[in-house]
Structure 1
Amino acid sequence: MADPQTQPPHHPDPIRQLEAVVARLRDPSGGCPWDLEQTHASLVPYVLEEAHEVADAIQHGDDRHLKEELGDLLLQVVLHARIAQEEQRFDLNAIAESISDKLIRRHPHVFAGAEAADSAAVKATWDAIKAAERAEQTADGAPSRSPLSDQLAGKVRGQPAMAGAMTISKKAAKAGFEWDDLAGVWDKVHEELDELKEAVASGDRAHAQEELGDVLFTLVNVARWCGIDPEAGLAGTNRRFLDRFSRVEAALGGDLQGRGIQELERLWQQAKAQIRAEANSPAS
């Protein structure tokens, strides 16, 4: 049984209780060695991982899983706040106050009697207020606004590559760097595919990797033009592949070694048909 003296003080507010638990983990006297080693930078992979797991739980409609993953993501916020608090920079209260102030300031249609007929109007107001805030910061002696390319470089630095590509694509298009129509985007896709084929045929792996990136970036632009989410699309493909693959494995007793491509393709198509039939059955 744990020594009661080592337990964090109980707090009726669950958020404050979590703060106390994290503070105990970060206590140099008897805290957790792993937690004590963490910095803002070392925690970045965990922030991204937990955010992805939250998204996965949402996509699967699993409330129990979602609650757990949101807790893991909240832990990351509290950990970062604790690290900053130890260095007397800011704390969890400052984070909460800052985002509350921002939400109130950028929602005048809710908190200040302004009008907003629809979500497009809300977004326009948000962008206008954000631009005014940036101008005010510059007037107060803050550094002048950097070029869009510099802003985007900072914005996407911590994002997964595909999400970063969509961010860049949207902002560049809004600034006027855009095709005239979707046909132009498709022409670019075919151009980049041809260049990828040539790079692969040349045997230059570094060049092929660059060209593969160009193909993926252009496909992200197709997604933007069509109003679809490439990350969600790829995640769905991953799930479908694993579902079909598990059925192929089951049909072969878990042993794929030595099987011909014709047999594997036949079982793959059979798995697809089974999944389609299950989805269309009255019981589903």
Structure 2
Amino acid sequence: MPQAPDNFNLFESLMQIVRSLRGPDGCPWDKEQTHNTLTPYAIEEVYEFVDAVESGNDALVKDELGDVLFQVALHAALAEERNAFKIQDVIANISEKLVRRHPHVFSDTKVSGIDDVWKNWEEIKRAEKKNSPKTSSGPFDFPNHLPALQRAHKIGVKSQKLQFDWANSDDVLKKVWEEINELQVEKKNIDSLKDATAEDKQKAQEAMEDEFGDVLFSLSQWARHQNIEPETALRKANRKFETRFNVMMKIVESEKKGWGTLTDDQKEAFWSKAKKQIKPDPA
């Protein structure tokens, strides 16, 4: 039977636990995992960590950060088993990278502000990639699994650095309205195709979806010009709606009303009550 480590404060203790979970007498679930099967869990744990940060609950942040660390340790153990690399190699790699990409801290490179820091960072990254495999992503070498709104924001940031951007947020807003108008055109087109073939309807639907994507992309660029991170803003909006909806349902229940029997006007009235009960989100 594997023995638990004596000191839980040590990083090596965590690695010992992970190796035991993967060992002959370990956990059946942990033993059958691979890098690929664990990927969804890594994504989920990072999102749970983000939720914890946005909640402002330090105890929850600590707990979720531990779950993220477990994912790191588990992937490192998997690599160690096939003699690819060890956790020490991971630590050395990120340490070397941080020192290399911060010459204004760890060497005599001079910077006048954050803009210079970003410029140096990009130049160093380009130098690092000279010997890496070529990709077709061009300057937009972002992870494929990034949420779409976050990716749109990063595309805009990179385009701005390449001096391909709107001059100000007002110019972007004009583009937003232009895209909304084009979306309305496609909506009217769909409405006029009630007797059209299924193929024509599908093409019209795809055209409307394309225009809707342009609206979202343009809105994300407007948000960038206003120093708003669109993914964060949408998460807050989702959380606000969920909170208000849950409060509304409690009010409906407290007044012994049946949700299915309420009219639209009554539902709207309960929604207004819920909004009044909830204080503004400090986040």
Q: CA deviation at 1:187?
A: 2.5
| Amino acid in the other structure paired with 1:179 | W
Choose the corresponding residue for 1:14, options 10, 15, 19.
10
Q: Name the counterpart of 1:84.
A: 79
Amino acid at match of 2:179: E
Q: Tell me the number of residue pairs that the alignment of Structure 1 and Structure 2 aligns.
A: 265
| 1:211-226 paired onto structure 2 within 5 Å | 211-226=211-226
Q: Tell me, what secondary structure is at the counterpart of 2:275?
A: helix
- The 1:279–1:178 alpha-carbon spacing in structure 2 relative to 1, beyond 3 Å, is closer
Q: Which residue of 2 aligns with 1:168?
A: 155
Q: Percent identity?
A: 37
What's 1:26 paired with? 22
Contact 1:185 1:221 in 2 (8 A): yes
**Aligned counterpart for 1:195 among listed residues 172, 178, 182:** 182
Aligned positions of 1:43-54 closer than 5 A: 43-54=38-49
Distance 1:172 1:125 in 2: 17
Superposition deviation, residue 71 in structure 1: 0.4
Distance in 2 (CA, whole Å) between partners of 1:238 and 1:220 is: 16
5+ residue gaps in structure 1?
none
Residue type at the aligned position of 2:216: L
Does the CA-based 8 Å contact 1:22-1:82 persist in structure 2?
A: yes
User: What is the CA-CA distance between 1:56 and the residue it aligns to?
Assistant: 1.5
**Cα offset for 1:253?**
0.3
| Superimposed CA distance per residue, residues 82-120 of structure 1 (whole angstroms, 9 cap, x where no aligned partner) | 111112111211010011111112222322243334333
Q: What's 1:248 paired with?
A: 248
**2:52 matched to 1:57?**
yes
Deviates more, 1:113-122 or 1:232-241: 113-122
Tell me: CA distance 1:58–1:10, structure 2 relative to 1, closer, same or farther (3 Å): same
CA contact (8 A) 1:192 1:211 kept: yes
Q: Which amino acid aligns with 2:241?
A: F
User: Separation in 2 of the partners of 1:42 and 1:207?
Assistant: 36
2-structure distance, mates of 1:59, 1:89: 36
| CA displacement at 1:77 relative to structure 2 | 0.9
Please list the CA deviations of residues 164-183 of structure 1 after superposition, one character each: whole Å capped at 9, or x if unmatched.
Answer: 12122222332233234433
Q: Residues 118 and 183 (structure 1 numbering): CA distance in 2 closer, same or farther, change over 3 Å?
A: closer
Structure 2 Cα separation of the partners of residues 43 and 199 of structure 1: 41
Superposition pairs of residues 88-107 of structure 1, within 5 angstroms: 88-107=83-102
CA distance in 2, matches of 1:31, 1:112: 46
Query: Match for 1:129 among 108, 124, 127?
Result: 124
SS in 2 for 1:156: coil
Compare 240-249 and 109-118 and name the one that shifted more. Answer: 109-118
Name which of structure 1's ranges 117-126 and 67-76 shifts more when overlaid on structure 2. Answer: 117-126
TM-score normalised to structure 1 length: 0.82
Counterpart in 2 of 1:227?
227
Q: Does 1:262 find its partner at 2:265?
A: yes
- Residue ranges of structure 2 left out of the alignment (5+ in a row): 191-200
**Residue identity matched to 2:220:** V
Aligned residues of 2:252 and 2:270 also touching (Cα < 8 A) = no
1:116-155 paired onto structure 2 within 5 Å: 116-135=111-130, 137=131, 142-143=132-133, 146=135, 149-150=137-138, 152=140, 154-155=141-142
The aligned counterpart of 2:193 is none
**RCO higher in 1 or 2 (8 Å CA, sep ≥ 6)?**
2
Residue 245 of structure 1, CA deviation: 1.3
1:65 is displaced (CA, Å) by 0.2
Q: Which residue of 2 aligns with 1:184?
A: 171
Q: Shift of the alpha carbon at 1:44?
A: 2.0
Instruction: Give me the whole-angstrom Cα distance separating, in 1, the residues matched to 2:241 and 2:92.
Output: 44
The verdict on how the C-alpha distance between 1:117 and 1:171 changes in structure 2, with shifts beyond 3 A counting, is closer
> 2: distance between equivalents of 1:31 and 1:198?
61
Task: Sort the Cα spacing of 1:126 and 1:262 in 2 relative to 1 into closer, same or farther, 3 A.
Answer: same
Partners of 1:12 and 1:181 lie apart in 2 by 53
Maintained 8 Å contact 1:156/1:167: no
After superposing the two structures, state which structure 1 stretch, 185-194 or 94-103, moved more. Answer: 185-194
